[in-house]
Amino acid sequence: MLPGNEAIEAIILTVKLATLTTLVLLLIATPIAWWLSVTASRWRAPISALVTLPLVLPPSVLGFYLLVAMGPDGPLGRLTLALGWGTLSFTFIGLLIGSIIFSLPFAVQPIQHAFEAIGPRPMEVAATLRAQPLDAFFNVALPLARPGLVTAAILSFAHTVGEFGVVLMIGGNIPGKTRVVSTQIYGHVEAMEYAQAHWLAGGMVLLSFAVLLALSLMKRRLGRVLP
C-alpha cells in the first residue's frame, strides 16, 4: 500500500518542525556556545551540565515534565494562561519548544567545540587590529567556526526528525499539527498496519542515512578549510 495523504501531511509537518527547530537553535545555541567556550565563570560547569541534560534524560522524562510544566498548574502554563494564549500542550508551538529543548545539546556542543578549536589567538589578533568585539565575533570567530555550525544544524535537524518520546507525550496526535512521522509510524505499528509502517519507517532509515552521509562528507571538505 502506498503512503496516503496522512503520511504526506505528517512528512510536511516533520520537515517544518525540524527546519524551525534548527533555525531557532542556531540563534540560541551560538551565543551559549560562545559563552561556554570563553568564560571562566563559576557558573560555567552548572550551565554546561544543564545544556547537556536533554542528551541523557529519557525523552519520557523530558516529555512528562514538559506536559506538567505546560499544564494549567505548571510554571509555563500559568504564564501562557495569564498572557491569554491558553496552554501550549497539543499545539505546534508547544512541540517546537519541546524540540528546541530536546535538541539543544546537539546544537551547542559542535559549535562550542568549534569555538574552542579556534582558540583565543584570532580574536586577540582582531582586537590588536582594533576590531570591536562584536565585529570580530561576526567576521572572525563565526566564519572560522563554520564547520561546527554546519554540524550543529544537521544534527539538530536530524535529531528533531528522529524525535519521538517528547512528541508522544505532549503532542496529542493531531493531524497536521502534532502528528509527525515518528508518531505516525508508531500508530501504524500499534494498529497492526505493518505495510504503511514499513513505507514510512523505510523512508526514515534512508533519510537518516543520507543526512549522516552528507554530514561526514561535508565535514571532510570543510575540514580542509580550517587552519
Partner 1 sequence: MGSLTASAQAAEVSVAVASNFTAPMQKIAAAFEQDTGYKAVLAFGSTGKFYAQIRNGAPFQIMLSADDETPARLEREGFGVSGTRFTYAIGRLVLWSRQPGAVDDKGEVLSRGRFERIALADPKLSPYGAAAVEVLKGLDLMSALAPRIVQGENIAQTYQFVATGNAELGFVALSQVFADGKLTQGSAWTVPASLHTPIRQDAVVLGAGKANAAALALMAYLRNDKARTIIRSFGYNH
Residues that bind partner 1 (CB under 8 A): 67-68, 70-73, 77, 86-87, 89-90, 168-170, 172-174, 183, 186-187, 189-192
Neighbours of 166 (CB within 10 A): 26
Burial class (CB in 10 A: 0-12, 13-18, 19+), 56: exposed
The nearer residue to partner 1, 69 or 141, going by C-beta atoms, is 69
Residue 139 DSSP code:
I
Residue 74 DSSP code:
S
Which phi and psi angles does 114 have, rounded to 5°? -65, -45
Distances (CA, A) of 86 to 70, 90, 92, 115, 154: 10, 11, 13, 40, 33
Hey, what's the cell of 199?
Answer: 513505507
The nearer residue to partner 1, 33 or 201, going by C-beta atoms, is 201
Distance of CA 86 to the CA centre of its chain: 25
In the complex, minimum distance from the CB of residue 81 to partner 1, in angstroms, rounded to a whole number = 10
In the complex, minimum distance from the CB of residue 68 to partner 1, in angstroms, rounded to a whole number = 6
In the complex, minimum distance from the CB of residue 72 to partner 1, in angstroms, rounded to a whole number = 4
Cβ-based neighbours of 151, under 8 Å, separated by 6 or more: 110, 114, 215, 219
The nearer residue to partner 1, 44 or 78, going by C-beta atoms, is 78
The nearer residue to partner 1, 143 or 175, going by C-beta atoms, is 175
In the complex, minimum distance from the CB of residue 126 to partner 1, in angstroms, rounded to a whole number = 50
The nearer residue to partner 1, 86 or 119, going by C-beta atoms, is 86
In the complex, minimum distance from the CB of residue 88 to partner 1, in angstroms, rounded to a whole number = 9
Burial class (CB in 10 A: 0-12, 13-18, 19+), 3: middle
The nearer residue to partner 1, 118 or 168, going by C-beta atoms, is 168
In the complex, minimum distance from the CB of residue 191 to partner 1, in angstroms, rounded to a whole number = 5
